[in-house]
C-alpha cells in the first residue's frame, strides 16, 4: 500500500514537472520595437529586406553627410566598371579646397590618389575630398550629381534627390530612411572590398589624424559601418550596420538631437533586432534538395534544387516550426533539361506559406530506350 502510494506521488510529481516545463518553454510575445528619439528611423534585415521597426521611414529629410555613401558608391562603381584606378592622381581644385564643414585638409593645386581621397571621404567625411572626387569622376560636381541621381533611380530610391556630393544644406537635397537603407544595402552588397573602409576608425592625411565619427565602431565590435551626418537643418543622422552570426541588420536614424543620442538610439534598435529576430537561410544556390521521379528517362529520377539562395527573417525560435513542402509537376517525362522547372517548394510557418520558390532540375535526363519508355508508359497509365 505504501509502495503504491509512493508510486502515485512520483507519477503526479512527474506530470506536474512536465506541465511546468511545458509552460516554461512556451514562447513569450515579442515586445513592441523601442520608440527612438528621432524624426525618422528604420531597422531592416540586410539579407531579406524585412522591415523590423520603422517610424516615418518615407519622410523626406535632409540626409547631411549620409549623402557621401552615394558619392563613395559611385566612385566604387567606377573603380569596378571603368578605367578609374585607386592609384590615379586627382588634382585638388580651389573649389574643393575651400569647401566648408568637415575636411580632409587638402592643399589647393596638390594631387591626391583616389585611394587617399576615398579614406578622406568615408573615414573623415571630408567635404573637400568629396568635391575633388566628384570633379574628377564626373568632370564637375554638377556632372557627378547627375550620375548620383541616375544611380539612385537604379537602386529604387524613389524619394531622393541630390544637388551636391557632400550633403551640405540645400532646399532640394533630400532623402528618406527607406532610401538610405536601400543605398546602404547596395554599398555592402555590391562593393564588399570597398565597404571595409567604413569600419576604419581613423585616418591621417597631411599630418592631421581624424577619427571616424561613427562612435558605434568603438562601442560594439559587431558594428562595421556605415556613415554619420550632421547639419543644423538635418540634425544628427546615422546609418549603422552590424553582423552577429549569420544575421546582418541595417539601421537608419535621421534627425536625432545630438551626437550621443544618434549613437545610443541606433544601438537600441540594433540590439532589439538581434534579440528578437533571426535570419534563416532556407536554400543554397544549386544545392540538391532531393530527387524527383522521371518517367521514360535514362535514369528513374532527377536531382532537384533551387537556383539561388534565399533567406527568411523569423522571430527568434520560429525556425523549429518551419516546414518544407514540395509540390512537383504530376508528370515529369524525359527528356528533362538542366534548369527546367519541376515544381515549387513551399516553406510553411504555422500553416501559413512564408516562401514559395521554384524547384529546378540540377542535371539533364535523356530519354530512355524503347523498352524503358514503353514500360514507364504502362506504369503511368496504371498509376
Cα 361 to Cα 297: distance, rounded to the nearest angstrom: 14
Q: Is residue 352 in a domain?
A: yes
> What CATH number should be reported for the domain holding residue 289?
2.60.410.10
**244 & 100 share domain:** yes
Residue 5 has pLDDT above 60, yes or no: no
Instruction: Determine the pLDDT at residue 378.
Output: 58
Q: What is the mean pLDDT of residues 39-48?
A: 98
- Residue 32, domain member (yes or no): no
Residue 215 has pLDDT above 90, yes or no: yes
pLDDT, mean over the chain: 91
pLDDT of 345 > 50? The answer is yes
Same domain, 271 and 290: no
**pLDDT of 270 over the 50 cut:** yes
151 near 161, Cβ under 8 Å?
Answer: no
Domain assignment present for residue 27? The answer is no
Q: Quick check: 336 pLDDT over 60?
A: yes
* Residue whose C-alpha cell reads 564588399 in the numeric block: 192
**What phi and psi values does residue 166 have, to the nearest 5 degrees?**
-105, -30
- Assigned domain for 342 exists: yes
Q: Which of 39, 40, 65, 93 is catalytic?
A: 65
Pick from 205, 202, 249, 189: nearest CA to 223: 249
Asked whether residue 197 falls in the same domain as residue 269, the answer is yes
Query: Residue 214: pLDDT band by 50, 70, 90 thresholds?
Result: very high
Q: Establish whether 125 is a catalytic residue.
A: yes
pLDDT at 95: 97
φ, ψ of residue 349 in degrees (nearest 5): -135, 115
Query: Is the same domain home to 157 and 83?
Result: yes
pLDDT attached to residue 17: 47
Three-state SS string over 65-121 comes to HHHHHHHHHHHHHHHHHCCCCCCCEEECCHHHHCCCCCCCCCCCCCEEEHHHHHHHH
| Alpha-carbon dihedral 278, 284, 285, 287, rounded to 10 degrees | -170
**How many other C-beta atoms lie within 10 A of the C-beta of residue 273?**
25
User: Has residue 200 been placed in a domain?
Assistant: yes
Q: Would the pLDDT of 32 be above 80? A: yes
Is 60 exceeded by the pLDDT of residue 10? Answer: no
Q: Is residue 30 part of a domain?
A: no
Q: Are residues 198 and 292 in the same domain?
A: no
The predicted pLDDT at position 6 comes to: 47
| 11 within domain boundaries | no
Question: Are 289 and 265 in the same domain?
Answer: no
Question: For position 77, which CATH number holds?
Answer: 3.40.710.10
Q: Which listed residue (125, 215, 251, 266) is catalytic? A: 125
Tell me which of 22-36, 98-112, 262-276 is least confident: 22-36
Based on the domain organization, do 271 and 289 belong to the same domain?
Answer: no
Pick the last residue of a domain from 247, 262, 277. Answer: 277
Does residue 66 share a domain with residue 130?
Answer: yes
On the question of pLDDT at 230 being above 60, the answer is yes
Helix (H) or strand (E) holding 149: helix 141-154
Tens-place pLDDT, residues 278-334: 999 999 999 999 999 887 888 989 999 999 999 999 999 999 999 999 999 988 888
Looking at the structure of the chain, the number of domains it has is 2
Q: Which residues contact 171 (CB under 8 A, 6 or more apart)?
A: none
Q: Which residue has the cell 527607406?
A: 178
pLDDT at 379 over 70: no
Per cent of the chain over pLDDT 70 is 89
Residue 97 lies in a domain: yes
Residues 266, 313 share a domain = no
Q: What confidence tens digit (pLDDT) does each residue in 157-172 have?
A: 999 999 999 999 999 9
Q: Name every residue whose Cβ is closer than 8 Å to that of residue 365 and which is 6 or more positions away in sequence.
A: 294, 297, 298, 299, 302, 334, 335, 336
Which cell numbers hold the place of 55?
Answer: 517610424
Identify the domain containing residue 314 by its residue range: 284-382
What's the rounded mean pLDDT across residues 184-211? 97
Tell me the three cell numbers of residue 194.
570597398
Q: Of the residues 277, 299, 316, which one is the last residue of a structural domain? A: 277
Total residue length of the chain: 383
Of the residues 219, 254, 277, the one at which a domain ends: 277
* pLDDT at position 20: 43
* Domain co-membership, 170 together with 294: no
Question: Is residue 98 domain-shared with residue 135, that is, in the same domain?
Answer: yes
CB of 188 within 8 A of CB of 239?
A: no
Counting other chains too, the contacts that 335-341 makes at CB distance below 8 Å and 24 or more residues apart are 335/297, 335/364, 335/365, 335/366, 335/367, 336/294, 336/297, 336/302, 336/361, 336/364, 336/365, 337/361, 337/364, 338/362, 338/363, 338/364, 339/307
337 touches 365 (CB < 8 A): no
Catalytic residue among 39, 68, 251, 266: 68
Residue 12: predicted pLDDT: 46
- Residue 170 and residue 132 share a domain: yes
CB 69 within 8 A of CB 184: yes
Query: How many whole angstroms separate alpha carbon 56 and alpha carbon 138?
Result: 33
pLDDT at 126: 98
Omega into 335 within 30° of 0, i.e. cis?
yes
| 311 grid coordinates | 533567406
Q: What is the mean predicted confidence (pLDDT) over 164-188?
A: 97
* Annotation marks residue 65 as catalytic: yes
Q: What is the pLDDT of residues 50-99, one digit of tens each?
A: 999 999 999 999 999 999 999 999 999 999 999 999 999 999 999 999 99
Q: Is 251 a catalytic residue?
A: no
What's the CA dihedral at 27, 28, 29, 30 to 10 degrees?
-90
Amino acid at each position: 500500500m505504501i509502495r503504491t502510494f509512493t508510486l502515485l506521488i512520483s507519477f503526479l510529481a512527474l506530470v506536474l514537472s512536465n506541465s511546468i516545463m511545458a509552460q516554461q518553454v512556451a514562447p513569450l510575445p515579442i515586445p513592441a520595437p523601442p520608440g527612438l528619439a528621432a524624426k525618422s528611423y528604420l531597422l531592416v534585415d540586410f539579407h531579406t529586406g524585412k522591415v523590423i521597426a520603422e517610424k516615418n521611414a518615407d519622410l523626406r529629410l535632409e540626409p547631411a553627410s549620409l549623402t557621401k555613401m552615394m558619392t563613395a558608391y559611385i566612385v566604387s562603381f567606377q573603380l569596378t566598371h571603368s578605367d578609374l584606378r585607386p592609384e590615379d592622381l586627382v588634382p585638388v581644385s580651389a573649389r574643393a579646397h575651400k569647401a566648408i564643414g568637415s575636411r580632409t585638409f587638402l592643399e589647393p593645386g596638390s594631387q591626391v590618389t583616389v585611394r587617399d581621397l576615398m579614406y578622406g571621404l568615408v573615414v573623415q567625411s571630408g567635404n573637400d575630398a568629396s568635391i575633388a572626387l566628384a570633379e574628377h569622376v564626373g568632370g564637375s560636381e554638377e556632372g557627378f550629381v547627375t550620375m548620383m541621381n541616375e544611380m539612385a533611380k537604379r537602386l529604387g530610391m524613389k524619394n531622393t534627390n541630390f544637388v551636391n556630393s557632400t550633403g551640405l544644406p540645400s532646399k532640394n537635397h533630400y532623402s528618406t530612411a527607406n532610401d538610405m537603407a536601400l543605398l546602404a544595402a547596395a554599398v555592402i552588397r555590391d562593393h564588399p572590398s570597398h565597404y571595409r573602409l567604413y569600419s576604419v576608425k581613423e585616418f591621417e592625411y597631411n599630418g592631421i589624424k581624424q577619427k571616424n565619427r561613427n562612435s558605434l565602431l568603438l562601442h560594439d565590435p559587431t558594428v562595421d559601418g556605415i556613415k554619420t551626418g550632421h547639419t543644423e537643418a538635418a540634425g544628427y543622422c546615422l546609418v549603422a550596420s552590424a553582423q552577429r552570426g549569420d544575421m546582418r541588420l541595417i539601421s537608419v536614424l535621421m534627425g536625432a538631437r545630438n551626437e550621443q543620442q544618434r549613437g545610443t538610439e541606433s544601438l537600441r534598435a540594433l540590439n532589439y533586432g538581434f534579440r528578437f529576430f533571426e535570419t534563416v537561410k532556407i536554400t543554397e544556390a544549386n544545392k540538391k534538395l532531393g530527387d524527383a521521379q522521371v518517367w521514360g528517362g535514362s535514369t528513374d529520377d532527377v536531382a532537384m534544387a533551387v537556383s539561388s539562395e534565399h533567406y527568411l527573417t523569423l522571430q527568434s525560435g520560429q525556425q523549429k516550426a518551419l516546414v518544407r513542402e514540395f509540390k512537383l509537376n504530376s508528370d515529369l517525362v524525359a527528356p528533362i533539361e538542366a534548369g527546367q522547372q519541376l515544381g515549387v517548394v513551399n516553406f510553411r510557418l504555422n500553416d501559413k506559406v512564408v516562401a514559395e520558390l521554384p524547384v529546378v532540375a540540377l542535371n539533364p535526363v535523356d530519354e530512355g530506350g524503347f523498352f524503358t519508355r514503353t514500360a514507364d508508359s504502362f506504369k503511368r497509365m496504371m498509376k
